[in-house]
């Protein structure tokens, strides 16, 4: 991305999942802060519109790169395309991801494996590709999208919760590894947020997504501020930070019980839970996290 001498960019931010939700809001935040953009998602037309908005409103440059990140070769293709364009990435926002609701044995297998590819493998692959050049330059930032579901097992969303536990652990370990290099790693752990996430995962009829939800712009703002400060982990929203405080003291079997209750749909509620998930509810203990 050739720089215009009249526009000294703050850097270049690569954002996956930029077509909607939190990723879209991250793109606007970075553009507003003077960063050129690399926008990655499947929908070219939406990305083109976002790129035009960034150029017109904020005077930054925006490179549109449509990719299906469930395809194993997508990260390498993206990395090579940016190399060919001479684009150095200063900030990597691994926002892309999705969830599935329902008993694990009933999850459609291809979709399940695609989810794990996007949530875990692609995130890891992109980080592995873009992190070394950052370390060589002595500066850079990576934000990985985790979840408050990272902190517990999640019956009826078993693979999704496990994928986010991976993201949190991976990010915390990398943060330790890159200390002193000028590069920071941040894990963003949002709770339920008003995006298309819930509809895609068939979660709109669950307790987790009824009531007041955080706005995607607010989640992105908290994540952006934490990233710029070099924080390793940020849990968005005071309510969710308070809910998670006692988590280390609660037996994980009980955490699984509450997580299941929050992610049941009406059709799930008639199904008898396995014996290990039927712990009695205790007053004041309903602090189950949602993705």
Secondary structure letter of residue 117 according to DSSP:
I
Contact 149, 105 (CB under 8 A): no
Q: Is 160 known to be catalytic? A: yes
Catalytic residue among 141, 151, 164, 240: 164
272 token code pair: 């008898």
3-class SS of residue 112: helix
Contact 70, 118 (CB under 8 A): yes
Catalytic residue among 35, 67, 151, 160: 160
Contact 185, 144 (CB under 8 A): yes
246 token code pair: 């006692």
Cα 146 off chain centre by: 5
243 token code pair: 């809910």
Contact 29, 223 (CB under 8 A): no
Place of tokens 């189950």: 288
Torsion angles phi and psi, residue 89, rounded to 5:
-90, 120
Contact 194, 214 (CB under 8 A): yes
State the DSSP string of 28-91.
HHHHHTTEEEEEEES-HHHHHHHHHHHHHHH---EEEEE--TTSTTHHHHHHHHHHHHTPPPSE
The kind and range of the H/E element at 145 are: strand 140-145
Cα–Cα dist 103/274, whole Å: 12
Catalytic residues: 160, 164
């Amino acid at each position: 991305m050739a720089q215009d001498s009249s526009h000294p960019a703050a850097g270049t931010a690569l954002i996956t999942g930029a077509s909607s939700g939190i990723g879209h809001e991250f793109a606007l935040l970075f553009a507003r802060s003077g960063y050129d953009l690399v926008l990655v998602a499947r929908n070219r037309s939406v990305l083109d519109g976002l790129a035009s908005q960034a150029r017109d409103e904020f005077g930054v440059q925006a490179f549109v790169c449509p990719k299906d990140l469930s395809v194993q070769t997508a990260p390498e293709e993206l990395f090579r395309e940016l190399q060919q364009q001479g684009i150095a990435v200063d900030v990597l926002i691994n926002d892309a991801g999705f969830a599935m609701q329902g008993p694990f044995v009933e999850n459609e297998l291809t979709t399940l494996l695609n989810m794990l590819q996007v949530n875990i493998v692609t995130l890891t692959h992109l980080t592995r590709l873009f992190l070394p050049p950052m370390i060589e330059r002595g500066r850079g930032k990576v934000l990985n999208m985790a979840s408050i579901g990272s902190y517990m097992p999640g019956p009826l969303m078993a693979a999704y919760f496990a994928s986010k536990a991976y993201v949190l652990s991976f990010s915390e370990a990398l943060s330790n590894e890159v200390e002193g290099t000028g590069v920071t790693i941040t894990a963003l752990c949002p709770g339920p947020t008003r995006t298309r996430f819930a509809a895609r995962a068939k979660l709109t009829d669950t307790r987790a997504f009824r009531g007041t939800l955080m706005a995607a712009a607010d989640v992105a703002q908290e994540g952006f501020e934490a990233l710029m400060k070099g924080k390793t982990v940020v849990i968005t929203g005071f309510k969710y930070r308070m809910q998670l405080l006692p988590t280390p003291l609660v037996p994980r079997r009980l955490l699984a019980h509450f997580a299941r209750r929050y992610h049941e749909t009406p059709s799930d509620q008639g199904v008898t839970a396995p014996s290990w998930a039927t712990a009695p509810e205790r007053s004041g203990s309903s602090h189950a996290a949602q993705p």
